[in-house]
Chains A and B, each alone.
Chain A
Amino acid sequence: MFSRILTSALFAGAAAGLIAALLQFLFVQPVLLHAELYETGELVHFGAEAVSAQPDLPGMFADPMRDALTVVFAMLTYTGYAVVMVALMSVAEGMGHAITARAGLLWGLAGFITFHFAPGLSLAPEVPGVSYTDITARQIWWTATVAAAGIAMWLIAFGGNLMAYGAAALLLIAPHLIGAPEPESFAGPVPTELGALFAARAFGVGMAAWVLLGGFAGHFWQTEGKRANAHA
């Protein structure tokens, strides 16, 4: 059972992570590199001269080591997500729910909401150069919000009664009423246009990668199960 979880999760995580990295290079990285020009002071927002919104960026793969590390860590991160998700899929299957590639798409959406959208609703994906407060406080809030959203997703999917739905709604809303740690003042040097674009792109790429991750996980969970049965 353990090896079936790990094998399916590794396949799904590696595939989805690779796609996430490629989507990141296409859509997120140009905004990130653009923002870094403001972060380092190379470009100045509201300077004496008007600044072009389309500066020359270092270009794709200008720093191969940096980009290679991005691929490695995207694959690692999505494999981590996949191990958690496939483990929960195995529990759901034990409860009698079918785990297929198609059902996996919904699992992926739930995972996106849990790990990206729920914390990101108050701690928006950060463009480089934004002002921020203490990292530890934000990580604690992030972790608690992800935990609450994860339980909420499970209750919505498998709770099946009004109490469960109510508890799920409460778990989803509460972290944002309590509030994420925010800086004392906003002094980020990056234009708001770039910050908004960055957050939108990060959410879009995250959703695409997660839905694929769920589909892949459901698919590989099935094929690995068939393989295990064939050997047994």
Chain B
Amino acid sequence: MRRQGGNDMTTKTLKVSATGSAILPALFAVILGLGIVTLAGHVQASALHDAAHDVRHATGFPCH
């Protein structure tokens, strides 16, 4: 896609700064997401296990 010269410059600058600052939040989010998946799928505390039981079986987590 081609845009007007001035616009092109701003988009580029915005994109570069967005990329530079984007790795850390993404990394943080990945860790948070994996934490949620571990909590819902793997933690064996019995209250959690019982509550999540049917979902764990249906989503293919090792359950018992």
Question: Which residues of A are at the interface with B, using a C-beta cutoff of 8 A?
Answer: 1-2, 5-6, 9, 20-21, 24, 28-29, 32, 66, 69-70, 72-74, 76-77, 79-88, 90-91, 94-95, 115-116, 119-120, 123-128, 132, 135, 138-139, 142-143, 198, 202-203, 205-206
Contacts and interface: CB of A to CB of B under 8 A. Distances in A.
Given A119-B60, A142-B62, A24 B54 contact: yes
Contacts of B44: 135
B53 to A, nearest CB: 8
Contacts of A9: 29, 33
B36 A86 contact: no
Nearest to B61: A142
The number of chain B residues touching the other chain, given as a range, is: 35 or more
Contacts, number: 140
Contact of B36 (A76, A127, A139): A76
B18 A123 contact: no
B60 to A, nearest CB: 4
Interface of B: 15, 18-19, 21-23, 25-30, 32-37, 39-42, 44, 51-52, 54-64
Given A2-B25, A5-B25, A91-B22, A73 B51 contact: yes
9 contacts: A1-B18, A69-B52, A74-B58, A77-B37, A91-B26, A124-B60, A132-B62, A132-B64, A202-B59
Contact of A73 (B30, B34, B42, B55): B55
A127 B57 CA distance: 7
Contacts of B29: 2, 5-6, 9, 83-84, 86-87, 90
A6 B32 CA distance: 10
B54 A81 contact: no
A49 B59 CA distance: 34
B26 A80 contact: no
Contact of A83 (B21, B36, B61): B36
Given A1-B25, A24-B54, A84-B29, A73 B40 contact: yes
Given A9-B33, A76-B36, A77-B41, A32 B58 contact: yes
B28 to A, nearest CB: 7
B33 A82 contact: yes
